[in-house]
Amino acid sequence: MLLLRRGLFSRFRSHTKMDPIFDHKTRRFRNPFSTWKDPSTWEAMKWGVSRTPPKFPSQDESMQMFGDPKQNVNVELLKTAPKSLRATWFGHATNYVQFSSSFTLITDPVFSERCSPLAFAGPKRIVAVPLEIEELALCDAVLISHNHYDHLDLQSIKRLEQKFQPVFVCGVGLGTFFTKQCSIPEDRVVELTWWQSARVASSRKHLQGRAEPNSSAGGASVTTGSLAVDVQMVPAQHWSRRSMGDKNQSLWGGFHVSAPIGASSEKSSFYFCGDTGYNPELFVEIGRRCGPIDIAAIPIGAYEPRGFMCPQHVNPKEAVMIHKEANVRQSYGIHWGTFILTDEPLDEPPKETKIACEELGVAFGSEFHVIHAGRSIDASDGPVSLLGLQRKDEAFL
Ligand SMILES: [Zn+2]
């Protein structure tokens, strides 16, 4: 597994407020942010017994609110490389991101019917996936923000490995999930800590591709024309747990990915927040180090009840604040309209996002988009760039 252990642990000993804290005794990570509050089992239980989740929509209601992802996706478009950068929302935190070189990555792939350790129980999809893994043309890398079941799905990882043999990038402590549980060779698994970056090259069979970690924040520039991108893990205010006893033993985060546009020295860049709560300094720092960012995928759902969810999941207003603070040109909302995980009404996130944009002076529909699963955002297509958007997409507003 590719990991700069020496640099990593010396960093933890003298952490700053923008580095993760690693407790050597318990071997667990902690958020360094004053805005963090650990989700206690007691509070989770209290919420569990008193909660009033929205009811599961009928197929008609789902179509009305979210459209048909299989109709929304432009399959032919996804077979072509974009001029600079294109991101397609596949529902929840799954994004299909294409660079001008044709390098293609997927974030937090969940293609299964449920996001759960069990195949027959747990949160079930309220919309279909736009395309199945077996229908995708390319996948050179898979980025995993953390190990919660709605972000890391064993069956989806196995199917991606079977079809593409991509490079898997994750936080420190999560690499063994891929090597042990999915039998992925160590040289295709990259563990990163916050601000650490790696040049990730495609492992497409005809290419000599390898992931090469480099310790400098920001990473080295990629050779023009090569099938590679620079992936940097960035902080997020969240936590991890896959099973009893492994809480916070692997690191969570977001990713900033950049690559040259064609043969020019210009770069395009994509920011995937992962799951995160809001902190007033965190996203300003991401903007300072990574901005301007061309496209960002920012969560707008899973925020109620606020008292319990606030430290770990942003609400729509905070999502729009992230867009501004991280210096993003175009953002779109993710982490809503796919699984029922929390208590806000299913159609509330788009409405609240529109209101927040108006309040914060962000142009809704050109700077911050709310799109249906299957739709794409193109970085070079100008300010209004909802590819193939139809008015009925906005029926939820
Ligand atoms: Zn999570």
Categorize the per-residue pLDDT at 396 as very low, low, confident or very high, splitting at 50, 70 and 90.
Answer: low
pLDDT exceeds 90 at position 24:
yes
Distance 255 CA to ligand 1 centre (A): 15
pLDDT exceeds 80 at position 384:
no
Contacting residues for 287 by C-beta, under 8 A, at least 6 apart: 293, 325, 326, 327, 328
Give the residue-averaged pLDDT of 313-324: 98
pLDDT exceeds 70 at position 228:
yes
Give the residue-averaged pLDDT of 57-77: 90
Distance 17 CA to ligand 1 centre (A): 21
pLDDT exceeds 50 at position 224:
no
Second-level CATH architecture of 5-396: 4-Layer Sandwich (3.60)
pLDDT exceeds 70 at position 392:
no
Distance 348 CA to ligand 1 centre (A): 20
Distance 248 CA to ligand 1 centre (A): 11
Distance 261 CA to ligand 1 centre (A): 32
Distance 26 CA to ligand 1 centre (A): 21
Q: How far apart (Å, rounded) are the C-alpha atoms in residues 45 and 102?
A: 46
pLDDT given for residue 52 in this prediction: 85
For ligand 1, a single-atom ion, which residues have Cβ within 5 Å? 148, 275
pLDDT exceeds 80 at position 149:
yes
Distance 300 CA to ligand 1 centre (A): 13
Q: Is 149 among the annotated ligand-binding positions?
A: yes
Distance 390 CA to ligand 1 centre (A): 32
Q: In this predicted structure, which of 22-36, 79-93, 220-234, 357-371 has the lowest mean pLDDT?
A: 220-234
When the pLDDT of each residue in the chain is averaged and rounded to a whole number, the result is 88
Categorize the per-residue pLDDT at 6 as very low, low, confident or very high, splitting at 50, 70 and 90.
Answer: very low
Distance 228 CA to ligand 1 centre (A): 28
| Contact predicate 299/333, CB 8 Å | yes
Digit-coded pLDDT (tens) for 331-360: 999 999 999 999 999 999 999 999 999 999
pLDDT given for residue 397 in this prediction: 53
Where do the domains of the chain lie? 5-396
Digit-coded pLDDT (tens) for 80-136: 999 999 999 999 999 999 999 999 999 999 999 999 888 888 899 999 999 999 999
Digit-coded pLDDT (tens) for 262-309: 888 899 999 999 999 999 999 999 999 999 999 999 999 999 999 889
Categorize the per-residue pLDDT at 19 as very low, low, confident or very high, splitting at 50, 70 and 90.
Answer: very high
Give the residue-averaged pLDDT of 161-171: 97
